[in-house]
Every structure is written in C-alpha cells, then in structure tokens.
Amino acid sequence: EDKVVQSPLSLVVHEGDTVTLNCSYEVTNFRSLLWYKQEKKAPTFLFMLTSSGIEKKSGRLSSILDKKELFSILNITATQTGDSAIYLCAVVNTGNQFYFGTGTSLTVIP
C-alpha cells in the first residue's frame, strides 16, 4: 500500500528557532515529492523534489530528498509567527496520483 508519513504531527517553537520537518514514503513508481504550506485555506506549493541530494532553497526554507532512504526533510531557519501553518508532504507517482501525508502542524510563538 502506497503511503506517506510525516513527523512530528505537531510542533511548537519560539520565534528564531530552527525546525526540521520529516517526510518518509513508500510509493511505487515514484516521480516527485512536493511540500505544501496550508494556512487557513488552500495548500500553497513550496517545493518539488525529483533528484536525490539536491537542495531546494527559498529564503529561510530549504528541502532535500533522499531517494535511497525514501525520505525528505523541510528546514525552516529563524522561524517567524507567519510560518505557523500545516506543512503537507505529497508524493506523485508516474500515473499522476498524489499521495499526501497527514501534515505537520507548526506553531511559532512570539
């Protein structure tokens, strides 16, 4: 059974802290792994990873994929209250089916 598992389920940190969110997967015919940020409404796209070991970076956020060990991490440095959200990991197979994890709920306290 194809599945995506995220950890931790929730996290509370103080502003300025660095956090690491984890995503492991077992999906046949893997094509890519995606990270989304969900605040009040629709998930918004952050990163797409297709190759192992290549870091994607956007400001204080970065992500990397390990296709051998079947996991990805999302790092957020110098966290801000605006980073508070649910972070979703999804894996796409070659049939264009998306498998989502349950998400990590991040709360950043001022």
Partner 1 sequence: NAGVTQTPKFQVLKTGQSMTLQCAQDMNHNSMYWYRQDPGMGLRLIYYSASEGTTDKGEVPNGYNVSRLNKREFSLRLESAAPSQTSVYFCASSIMGSNQPQHFGDGTRLSIL
When computed from its CA atoms, the radius of gyration of the chain, rounded to whole angstroms, is 13
CA count, 13 A, side-chain hemisphere, 97: 10
32 binds partner 1 (CB under 8 A): yes
- Judged by CB under 8 A, the residue of 45, 60, 66, 77 near partner 1 is 45
Write the DSSP string, 61-96.
EEEEEETTTTEEEEEE-S--GGG-EEEEEEEEETT-
As a whole number of angstroms, the distance between CA 82 and CA 39 comes to 9
Query: Minimum CB separation from partner 1 for residue 18, in Å?
Result: 25
Query: Minimum CB separation from partner 1 for residue 96, in Å?
Result: 5
Positions in 66-95 near partner 1 (CB under 8 A): 88, 90, 95
102 binds partner 1 (CB under 8 A): yes
By the criterion CB under 8 A, which residues form the site for partner 1?
Answer: 6, 9, 31-32, 34, 36, 41-45, 48, 50, 88, 90, 95-103
